[in-house]
Amino acid sequence: MNKFLLKIRILPRWIIIVIDLIILFFSSLLAFLLRFNFDYSRLGSFDVNKGILLFTFFGFLSSLVTKSYAGIVRYTGMQDAVRILGTVIMGSLLTFFASYIYFEINGMNLLPVSVIIIAFLSSVLLLFSYRLFVKQVFSYFLNKEKKIEQVLIYGTDKFAQMTRQIIEEDSGKYYKVVGYLDDNKKHVGKIVNGVRIYDARNDLEFIINSKKIKELIISDRNISIEKKNELVDACLAKSIKVRIVPPVGHWIKGELSLNQIKDINIEELLERESIKLDNYNVSLELKGRKVMVTGAAGSIGSEIVRQVLYYNPELIILVDQAESDLFEIENELKLSKGTLKVFPVVADITSEVRMENLFKEYEPQIIFHAAAYKHVPMMEKNPSEAVNCNIKGTIILADLSVKYKAEKFVMISTDKAVNPSNVMGASKRIAEMYVQSLNNYLKDKNPDATKFITTRFGNVLGSNGSVIPVFKRQIDSGGPITVTHPEINRFFMTIPEACQLVLEAGVMGHGGEIFIFDMGKSIKIIDLAKKMVMLSGLEVGRDIEIVYTGLRSGEKLFEEVLSSHENTLPTYHHKILIAKTRLDKYEDVRNNIEILINSAQDNDELKLVGIMKYIVPEYKSNSSKFEALDKKRILSID
């Protein structure tokens, strides 16, 4: 039997039409008999044969209009039920009107209203029932030799029901949903389409063990991050696969398919609760304004551009020297937003002439400065480039912002600027010092001068060169995963979250502030690596090895958000704080930086880094060739 069903796969359309006609014919005949209690003598006052043929004909005609025969029977669902209902309603109404006209012309009733109603009800019931029967026959014979995979679904709403229908109709495997999980005590114990709802907190371990669960699918999009991690940890401990249903907005053509239900990834487990922004004030700040974003092709810069576009600026100038990446982000924005407000510019922020031409041409009112060299080991080997890009580039942009009367300059900094242990972090700290001292210098002279605002945050998930993409590549290639130290940990934040907070800080800033973001709890990198291996369905030590390589040059075990000399002040947004830092005189900072930039041309790395340590006394190298400079620090750079 199963070989025969496999051979036909899809029941031919003509067979479905013939069966539908038979059912319509039988339903109208049955309706007559039921209406008159099987008393054949009472049928003489009606033209029964014509009545039955009329009901059957109009039912057939309606099915051609609604295409109720077109669905694949073994995938019958609610959409098919609605289509059948529409077909029979249309056919019944047509029959009623035709019967009325026939009575007016010939004086004989073909079908009384009561017969039409009974025929309508029996037709709907029988047409849908036989489809369900065929579906069950196909399901039984096609899947009886397959290995059954017991599945749990977290959620009980309509999305959970859709998920169940889709996975149970998959032809590659035989999935059987044996339970729903819910945290709502009112739902626990109830039955939905023959499947019981269990308590997600108290029943999880019991049902995993008793039902031999192979897979958990999370369909509830309102699940908290904590609950999601709790479920995943429980499942990974039992080697149970976890998948997740994507948001409705990501469904292809508005419909969910099995291929869209993906394995849960590490980014979804490191997310935090969504941020509530003061969109009104952000909109007031950005709507109709000319905005410049440097580093616009990078991870942070490109997301800032996407979010700024939402607030309908007059134009956005995208500045980056990575022409291929700039081309990609321009195309993405024009395809998704259909905007003509994007002006991509291939340029190096250390070119003063090029930057001045851009300011002169576009006159940006708000600048988001995200361009920077950020890779710690790379900048440890190339300190002059860190000075040129991260410090000199920032000074050029800041000075031009003042000259061309920009309203605000928002600099993107890093937690590595706090008590820096490497060249990159020190270069960002010096850039912070410059824009903060410049702001305070200008404020005393002209209250309407450009406002300079700094934002600091840690690692962002999925950014170029971050640890998660590296680990993914290492797992895909069979390992090993390389971790620098078993105790190393980092703060993580999603790119959209970081950029939302940048916009919010830019709005609330009055100039001179260094805003820091609530990064949540730090995460051990080794724990991150282990979880990523388990999410891939592999086992650490058996399938993938983890190798410790030692701290890289300039790398810390623990990142900080504030130095020991700093404290914070709250803002109206609970995730944004103001760092209270020491205030440096603008003239001193400017003079020191000029000496530093001139030294970057001398090809003397020790001298260059020594000057950086003089400017930033808290800068102490770690696992670096520059550690020797900490023993004998430069006392003067005059």
Q: Which residues pair with 263 in a beta bridge?
A: 243
Domains 146-264 and 279-459+492-519+560-607 share a fold: yes
Which amino acid type is present at position 140?
Y
Tens-place pLDDT, residues 105-154: 776 667 777 777 877 777 777 777 767 677 666 666 655 555 667 888 88
Model confidence pTM above 0.75: no
Q: Provide the pLDDT for residue 4.
A: 47
Given 416, 556, 575, 620, the catalytic residue: 416
The two three-digit tokens of residue 186, written as one number: 């009112």
| 291 strand-pairing partners | 316, 366
Distance CA 495, CA 489 (A): 19
Question: What b/e string do you get for 318-336 counting C-beta neighbours within 10 Å, with b at 16 or more?
Answer: bbbbbeebbeebbeebeee
Task: List b or e across 508-532, with b for residues whose CB sees 16 or more CB atoms inside 10 angstroms.
Answer: bbebbbbbbbbbbebeebbebbbbb
Query: Any long-range contacts for 505-508 (C-beta under 8 Å, 24+ apart)?
Result: 505/410, 505/453, 505/455, 505/576, 506/285, 506/366, 506/368, 506/408, 506/410, 506/453, 506/455, 507/278, 507/281, 507/282, 507/284, 507/285, 508/281, 508/571, 508/572, 508/573, 508/576
- Helix, coil or strand: residue 580: strand
- pLDDT for the residue 260: 76
Query: For the chain, how are helix, strand and coil distributed in percent, rounded to 5?
Result: 50, 15, 35
CATH topology of domain 146-264: Rossmann fold (3.40.50)
What's residue 368's pLDDT? Answer: 96
CATH architecture of 279-459+492-519+560-607: 3-Layer(aba) Sandwich (3.40)
What pLDDT sits at residue 564?
45
Q: How far apart are CA 52 and CA 43, in angstroms?
A: 12
Q: What's the pLDDT at 524?
A: 84
Label residue 399 exposed, middle or buried (CB < 10 Å: 0-12, 13-18, 19+): middle
Q: Are 456 and 414 in contact (CB under 8 A)?
A: yes
Long-range (24+ apart) CB contacts under 8 A made by 395-398 are 395/431, 395/434, 395/593, 395/597, 396/349, 396/350, 396/352, 396/355, 397/294, 397/349, 397/355, 397/367, 397/369, 398/434, 398/435, 398/438, 398/450, 398/452
Domain ranges of the chain: 2-141, 146-264, 279-459+492-519+560-607
Lookup result for tokens 């760092």: 579
Give the N- to C-terminal CA distance of the chain in Å, as an integer: 94
Annotated active-site residue 416? The verdict is yes
pLDDT at 6: 47
pLDDT tens across 471-500, in order? Answer: 888 888 887 888 888 888 777 777 888 888
The pLDDT value given to residue 39: 63
Amino acid of residue 602: D
- Residue 186, CA atoms < 13 Å, CB-side half-sphere: 0
**Residues lower than pLDDT 50 in the chain:** 1-2, 4-7, 171, 563-565
- C-alpha dihedral sign at 229, 235, 236, 237: positive
